[in-house]
Amino acid sequence: MKVSRNAYYNWIATKDDVVEKETLVLLKERIRSIFQRSRQIYGSHRIQKMLERESLFYSRSYVACLMKEMGLKSILRRKYIVTTNSNHSFEVAENRLNRDFTSSKLGKKWVSDITYIRVNNDWNYLTTIIDLADRKIIGWSLSEDMTTENTVLKAWLHARSNRSLSGDFVFHSDRGIQYTSSKMVHLFSFNRKITQSMSRKGNCWDNAVAESFFKTIKNEWLYRFKYTSYSQLYRSVADYINWYNTERIHSSLGYLSPLEMEIKLREKANEAA
């Protein structure tokens, strides 16, 4: 083959190094791709889980080391303020959910909350409804006021257009005035399927899943931008929620996305039927 003895033995001695370098280059490319696809949100743990989906098994510490070497760092996290107006005279429902955030059936347990988002020197209000079975945002609304019609009612109608209710359905929220208003109470009491549940006063852990989503969307997305108009914020929230529902993996779902969990639960229900 017209190759010298020295060249041959040098190739024997270094060929594994060449393969390792090529493998490392490909691994770094996958890490960078996953990181960018996650909108620079995923840290080493979630990237490790995404690599495992591709049968690439590496320790979290090694992935973290490579990310540091490549200058890839998950966006910074910031604190946020939870605000609920529970100073009202409306009747408050019992805490029937009682921090049981597990559900194996779609349309059985929903949780909801409202948060504030700054737009210029004013506030807009994001209301979300989450199905605990797949952690999917099945209904949401963005409003420039805190009326029941533009917050909870609008989000509820959106959720109901996306998903039906199962028997013994529980709708859980804090005890804010929007949820205790006569409009929502009458709507819920009209349907015998619906049981309304509310957190204890001043206890954010009673609605931890809803609170956690607001922390997530703010830390991962909203705090990265300065919003100057309702329409700009609306497009941004819609974009994130679509990605959150279809692609973002959740530790509480065994590192599946809400869409993947929804498909899994529907297939399981069909098999049982």
**CA–CA dist 127, 165 (Å, integer):** 19
Q: How high is the pLDDT of residue 80? A: 46
Q: Residue 266: which H helix or E strand, with range? A: helix 258-272
C-alpha span between 135 and 101 (Å, rounded)? 10
Residues 6+ positions from 238 with CB-CB distance below 8 Å = none
Please name the helix (run of DSSP H) or strand (run of DSSP E) that holds residue 197, with its range, or none: strand 194-198
Residue 140 to residue 90: CA distance in whole angstroms: 24
| pTM across the whole model | 0.81
pLDDT of residue 77: 56
From CA 32, how far away is CA 217, in angstroms rounded? Answer: 22
Phi then psi for residue 98, to 5 deg, are 55, 45
* Residue ranges for the chain with pLDDT beneath 70: 1-3, 6-19, 76-90
Spatial contact of 50 and 42, defined as CB atoms under 8 Å apart = yes
What pLDDT is attached to residue 254? 95
Question: Tokens in use for 74?
Answer: 């998950």
Please provide the DSSP assignment of 133-168 as one string. Answer: TTTEEEEEEEESS--TIIIIIHHHHHHHHH----TT
179-213 pLDDT, tens digit each? 999 999 999 888 878 999 999 887 778 999 999 99
